[in-house]
Structure 1
Amino acid sequence: MSNRQEDLVKVKLDWLQCHFTWAPQKENIDLDDMKQRLEDSIQLNVKYQATSYNQLAFVNCLQGNCEEAIQNLQEAEKILRENHEDEFEKRIIVTYGNRAWVNYHMGQLTEAQSYLDKLERICQQFPDASRYTAMIPEVYGEKGWALLSSTARYYEDAMECFIKALKEDPDNTEYIVGYATVLFRLEWFSGTPESHGPSEAMKQLRRVLELDPDHTEAMVLLALKLQQFNQKEEALKFIEEALQKSPDLPYVLRYAAKFYRTKGDVEKAVELLKKGLEITPNSTFLHHQIGACYRTKLYKLMNSSGSKGTRNDAPQQRAELIELCKFHFQKASEKRPLTSIKPRLDLAGICSLNKEYHKAKEIYNHLLTLEGIRPENKQAICLQAGLFELNHIRSESNAIDHFLEGMKVNYNSTEQKRCRENLEMTAARRLRWNLRESKALGVHGFLHQLDGERREAIKCFEKALEFDPDNETYLSALCELRLSIEADNHSPSESQTYF
């Protein structure tokens, strides 16, 4: 094909709805970790294997393994033909789209065009379809799962996909599970609308179990929500039933372990997590949870080390638990340089506890450079980096900088509230020692500005500039505040507008 024909094929490919045109790309996802997770899910014969093969093909292609990607897509097509014969053409749209893209990346333009032709023929049967794709529940569902399994920044987009799929197919268990799962995750983020009020995830998980009483993945998620709302007996019933029905499913084991750790039974949690690790030895999630269990044991030891009978063994036990925490938090993050924010924060916390300040500082400095992450994650990084500077390095000035950065992320979360609390306490303490402390005055100015108290903010910035006259941040804030007040004074009042 000529360059013009190649460009024309590329234009058509960009119209498709498939993994290559959806949001997450190479720079946004940890490819090695995602590949491992997808291979584990396929090996364990979990539900929705065709979906896993489709996403694995995308990852393999991004890594340059195009022949493997073709094999993945052939497996996906085979599964869809065997398991969904009656609705094969609805479910094959994404797979054929991915196949066209992989052929294009291999320079096989004729083959790519042949899959575009197949898609065109399939889409003719759907009234609202475009030339090469149809936005039907099967496509929305596939997109929802792809976004859900990538990074947390796409969870809201995934939720919208499942909502659209369920609008046309409201009793489809696959889409209800996807919707419930994304709600479950969003409800854990303190700043999301889903985290306030009654749990919609709980409602959807009960709906899954109405349609499929043996869905053990739904059971463990529901148990964690019930535990969160202090419905302990029902929660334990679901955990025990899930472990009885799926004793070797890592997904069930890891969430059951989380349940027991929250319950206070750390030994049971470690037992389940180690069992899961035997089945999927490279699971970053399991390593993170094991690290969290050992950290719980470490804190318990530290709180009781002064009591009789624990003093002699405590230093050795403490050292062993610290090393176990570090090992598992490191394993949880080594394959995930882009997305392992929580494990890295946990690792930095343990390093700080062990007085490995250089290592902790290195981790925080890296995390502070990350872009395109969820706002509460950015705030959590700023909060913990600030507390590290405050409590371990004894640098109130650096701590203020980090807390301010967390505050400036415009997102109402628990992490932001904690940044503010620490910012207010630190600034107040500095002013008690020195009324001419310009940085603390600047902090008060910023907080007044954030609360819409412009005149109070102006006073603080003016005072700060008395002691730091060339500070561009204060000068800029002061200019902005004065201009906004001036603009309000010159804007017509409501009475002037009417007359």
Structure 2
Amino acid sequence: MSDTLRESLLVKLGQLQCHFMWGPQMDDVDLDDVKQRLQDSIIIGGKHQGVPHNQLAYINYRQGNCEEALRDLEEAERRLREIHGDGFERRSIVTHGNRAWLHYHMGQLSEAQSYLDKLEVTCSPLTQGPHITAMVPEVWGEKGWFLLSSRSQCYEEAKECFARALEEDPDNTEWNMGYATALYRLESISGILKRPEVSQSVRQLRRVLELDPGESVARVMLALRLQEFQQQAEANELVEEALRKSPGSPFVLRYAAKFYRIQQDVDEAIGLLKKALEFTPRSSFLHHQMGMCYREKLLALRRNQGSGDPGVEAVLIDDCKLYFGTAFEMKPSFILAQLDFAGICLMNGESNRAVEIYNNLQSLEDVTPDDKQAIELQLGLYELHHTKSESNSIHHFMEGLKIQHGTKYWKKCYTKLEQIARRQINRNPHDSRAWGILGFLHREAGENSEAVECFEKALRFDRGNEEYIIALRELCPSTSAGDTRTRRFGARFSD
């Protein structure tokens, strides 16, 4: 095929909607981990999960396994025909797009063209745009599932994809479940809401159960969310019913285990996690959850017995290390598991080992914003509680706040900084740095008038401080050289 025809083919491929076009979303994702989760998903056979074989094919392509990727796409087609029957053609748009791209990369250009031809036959009646693609609900939904399995920064876009799918097919249980999952994860990142009536995920999970009362995963996810709102009776009933309806579903088992761990029924949680591990023994998530359960037992022992029984305590510490360690051995990018392992080391008096882990984590590149914020939070807590350095802890909490806004880690950094600043002001009402911290916090929270007040107090006790002057100028951009505030704080405030 001539270069001109090859270029023409590439132009058409660039119009497709498929994993090869969505792939840049996975540039900083642990591909091995995603691959393991997809393989587990195929083993489990989740009710609503998109087409994992499609994404698995793309992962294998990225890892240089083109022949394996081709087999994945053949399996995707087989499963689509088996499950969707008459709806196969619309469901196959993404798969055919993936096959066209894969054949192109394998140098099989005539095969790539044949799949473009198939797409034109399928898509022409469905769209007024390019006839080799059509943004039908099946395509929006598949893209939504792909984004949910990528990184947390993609969850908002995933939500929008499912919303677009539901515009044309509002009663589709799969798209409703995808939409609920995206909302659930977004709310989990931002932290606990104050009231259930403002939780979009609660409403959407109830919608899923209206459409499909047998959807046990939605049932136990709803239970977890209601648990956060202290609606324990309904939450308990939902979990019990989910386990009755789907006692062998690993997805149900893992969510139910988390529910019971939070409820302090740790032995029940461990039992459910062990059942789930029988299905997916290489799940880093499940091993991490096991470590969290044994940590709860360790903390309970210390609460109930002071320093605790040394023999039992040593066993629990070993269990925590085993499961947290296994989690990040299976998934080296599992930052939270490493932080939790370091936390157990601190509890066991192994400060040097914990510091070594913290130093290694600080030196990592290509860390996701979520993980970077979690690292800064833990470093701040370490400096505050173990080295007793408020100054160093302030630095780390500040760095954590700057990474991303509104997450649960952001809120924890914010709370710790506020506690430190107010404690310092109680000790010394003229502490300019403490007032500056409060000003920074109010500004981060969008409370500009309170921020101005705090920065003015900070500047009153530290006249000429450039940081506070700049902050006030940013908060009051209309300030001019003749303004009374400018005159009050000196010529450096003016232009």
Q: TM-score range by the shorter chain?
A: 0.7 to 0.9
Q: What is the aligned counterpart of 2:341 among 333, 339, 347? A: 347
- Contact 2:49–2:145 under 8 Å retained in 1: no
- Contact 2:190–2:407 under 8 Å retained in 1: yes
Match of 1:408 in 2: 402
Match of 1:330 in 2: 325
> Are 2:288 and 1:288 aligned?
yes
User: How far apart, CA to CA, are the structure 2 residues paired with 1:416 and 1:395?
Assistant: 20
User: How far apart, CA to CA, are the structure 2 residues paired with 1:448 and 1:252?
Assistant: 41
Q: What is the aligned counterpart of 1:457 among 455, 458, 461? A: 455
- Contact 1:129–1:135 under 8 Å retained in 2: no
Q: 1:322 to 1:461 in 2, by over 3 A?
A: farther
> Are 2:153 and 1:153 aligned?
yes
Match of 2:88 in 1: 88
Q: What is the aligned counterpart of 1:364 among 345, 358, 361? A: 358
User: How far apart, CA to CA, are the structure 2 residues paired with 1:481 and 1:231?
Assistant: 44
Task: Report the Cα offset of residue 334 of structure 1.
Answer: 2.9
User: How far apart, CA to CA, are the structure 1 residues paired with 2:350 and 2:7?
Assistant: 54
Q: 1:183 to 1:421 in 2, by over 3 A?
A: closer
Task: Report the Cα offset of residue 261 of structure 1.
Answer: 1.5
- Contact 2:42–2:52 under 8 Å retained in 1: yes
> Are 2:313 and 1:318 aligned?
yes
Alignment of 1:118-137 (within 5 A): 118-137=118-137
Long gaps (5+) in structure 1: 467-473, 493-499
Match of 1:260 in 2: 260
Long gaps (5+) in structure 2: 484-495
Alignment of 1:108-257 (within 5 A): 108-190=108-190, 197-257=197-257
Alignment of 1:419-438 (within 5 A): 419-427=413-421
User: Which letter does structure 2 place at the counterpart of 1:200?
Assistant: Q
What is the TM-score with the length of structure 2 in the denominator?
0.86
Match of 2:469 in 1: 478
Percent identity, aligned pairs only, is 51
- Contact 2:93–2:119 under 8 Å retained in 1: yes
User: Which letter does structure 1 place at the counterpart of 2:458?
Assistant: C
User: How far apart, CA to CA, are the structure 2 residues paired with 1:224 and 1:31?
Assistant: 29
Q: 1:331 to 1:491 in 2, by over 3 A?
A: farther
- Contact 2:28–2:366 under 8 Å retained in 1: no
- Contact 2:473–2:479 under 8 Å retained in 1: no
- Contact 1:380–1:415 under 8 Å retained in 2: yes
CA RMSD of aligned residues (A): 3.2
Q: 1:434 to 1:272 in 2, by over 3 A?
A: same
Which piece of structure 1 moves more, 163-172 or 120-129? 120-129
User: How far apart, CA to CA, are the structure 2 residues paired with 1:242 and 1:486?
Assistant: 56
**Secondary structure at 1:264 match in 2:** coil
Task: Report the Cα offset of residue 3 of structure 1.
Answer: 4.2
Task: Report the Cα offset of residue 182 of structure 1.
Answer: 1.6
User: How far apart, CA to CA, are the structure 1 residues paired with 2:210 and 2:75?
Assistant: 31
User: Which letter does structure 1 place at the counterpart of 2:455?
Assistant: A
User: How far apart, CA to CA, are the structure 2 residues paired with 1:486 and 1:164?
Assistant: 40
- Contact 2:70–2:99 under 8 Å retained in 1: yes
- Contact 1:284–1:333 under 8 Å retained in 2: yes
**Secondary structure at 1:21 match in 2:** helix
Task: Report the Cα offset of residue 23 of structure 1.
Answer: 5.4
Provide the aligned length of Structure 1 versus Structure 2: 478
**Secondary structure at 2:133 match in 1:** coil
User: Which letter does structure 2 place at the counterpart of 1:247?
Assistant: P
Task: Report the Cα offset of residue 103 of structure 1.
Answer: 1.6
What is the TM-score with the length of structure 1 in the denominator?
0.85
